[in-house]
Amino acid sequence: MLATIDIKVTRAANSKLKEIDFDNLPFGKNFTDHMLEADYINGEWKNVEIKPYQPLLIAPSNAALHYGQAIFEGIKAYKDDQDNAYIFRPYDNFKRFNISAERMQMPVVPEEIFIEGMRKLIEMDRDWIPAKPNYSLYIRPFMYASDEVIGVKASDTYKFIIILSPTGPYYAAPMRIWVEEKYIRAAEGGVGYAKAAGNYGGAMYVTAQAKKNGFDQVLWMDAKEHKYVQECGVMNVFFIVGDKVLTPDLTAGTILAGVTRDTVITVLKEMGFTIEERPVSIDEIIAAHKAGTLKEVFGTGTAATVATIKEMQYKDYNMQFDISNLATTTEVKKRVDDIRYGHAADVHGWMYRV
């Protein structure tokens, strides 16, 4: 259905596949044999190329290194029991990528490059897709400014790249979360809804402080009142309170519109839950915890899928959750995984055949 795209292909002379220990795959450390590259020059995308994975030659005056016009996406590919390869919801990440691009004053990437380029790249490296539970091929499309001038202005040229990394379970252990009340990740009118590089770098100081104190991640609050929970930087967050599920809404543009967030909301509705997407205050969460109605808390993200949260700390108040009985978290994850690994019908059209 897509327009034909002229992709120059240069195959790697030797595959690195046999050098990789597929029983031990730390997240984002190993990359496949090939990468996709495209250049935005004079207002158009050109030089679309799949070539051996290799370093980039970047000028010291590169605009992205100085002024942060850089965005990315995270997507996963899976294999079913018949060795068919599928990408999970690539069109949703494609749309979000271009929303990020617009906010960062970067050009949109056309479907023929983002989707068809990704499909073709994965087709070439399909032997790299692990075929076991909780494993997948992590797909990282990204774009950065490539002007070589250090005047502060939007770059005229850009590079779009896709790299692939076989990956095992992420955040396998239940997590301890620090609720941050002073520092913020994003504010209304800012770039919080964009998957922009700077959102992650800006969060690292507080995350490092939290880690020093034994926490795994930070749950951010809103910038105005420091009262409403936002997201975890690498995950959206869900609270099961009584028979309802609460998760922060996207209206303010301060949190990422997670594709896994949307997947989980859809699946929870199918399981009969009422989902309330609305501002969720930390006071409400604490009150529910005190009343004993806060049953499960989990994060969602492409890397983590569904990550169990076992503890949250807000100021002096500590909340522990019973992780011996995570009926809903477990069931949601199972249902999403069943679709991804081809064990359940793909009624939503989420699986894109490679």
**Cα–Cα–Cα angle for 55, 123, 258, nearest 5°?**
75
Binding mask 27-66 for a second copy (x = CB under 8 A): xxx-x---x-----------------xxxxxxxxxx-xxx
- Contact predicate 105/128, CB 8 Å: no
Residue 233 in the binding site for a second copy (CB under 8 A): yes
Which of the stretches 112-120, 121-129, 199-207, 269-277 binds a second copy when contact is defined by CB under 8 A? Answer: 199-207
* Strand ranges for 73-219 from DSSP E: 75-79, 85-88, 136-145, 158-167, 175-179, 217-219
Residue 259 in the binding site for a second copy (CB under 8 A): no
| Residue 127: C-alpha distances to residues 10, 117, 152, 161, 165 (Å) | 17, 17, 43, 20, 12
Q: Which of 123, 127, 188, 270 binds a second copy (CB under 8 A)?
A: 188
Q: How many residues bind a second copy (CB under 8 A)?
A: 69
Q: Which is nearer to a second copy, 177 or 288 (CB)?
A: 177
Closest CA to 232 of 263, 213, 265, 210: 210
Residue 165 in the binding site for a second copy (CB under 8 A): yes
Tell me how far apart the alpha carbons of residues 269 and 273 are, in angstroms, rounded to a whole number: 5
Q: Which of 2, 9, 173, 208 binds a second copy (CB under 8 A)?
A: 208
Q: Which is nearer to a second copy, 22 or 200 (CB)?
A: 200
Tell me how far apart the alpha carbons of residues 271 and 217 are, in angstroms, rounded to a whole number: 28
Residue 310 CB: number of other CB atoms within 10 A? 17
Binding mask 124-143 for a second copy (x = CB under 8 A): --------------x-x-x-
Tell me how far apart the alpha carbons of residues 300 and 9 are, in angstroms, rounded to a whole number: 36
Task: Find the binding residues for a second copy in span 293-332 (CB under 8 A).
Answer: 303
The β-bridge relationship of strands 244-247 and 274-277 is: parallel
Which of the stretches 14-22, 147-155, 262-270, 271-279 binds a second copy when contact is defined by CB under 8 A? Answer: 147-155
Burial class (CB in 10 A: 0-12, 13-18, 19+), 149: middle
Q: Which of 12, 20, 149, 323 binds a second copy (CB under 8 A)?
A: 149
Helix (H, G, I), strand (E, B) or coil at 265: helix
Q: Which of 25, 121, 175, 191 binds a second copy (CB under 8 A)?
A: 191
What does the binding site for a second copy look like in residue numbers (CB under 8 A)? Answer: 26-29, 31, 35, 53-62, 64-70, 72, 102-105, 138, 140, 142, 144-145, 149-154, 161, 163, 165, 182-191, 196-202, 204-205, 207-208, 223-224, 226, 233-234, 303
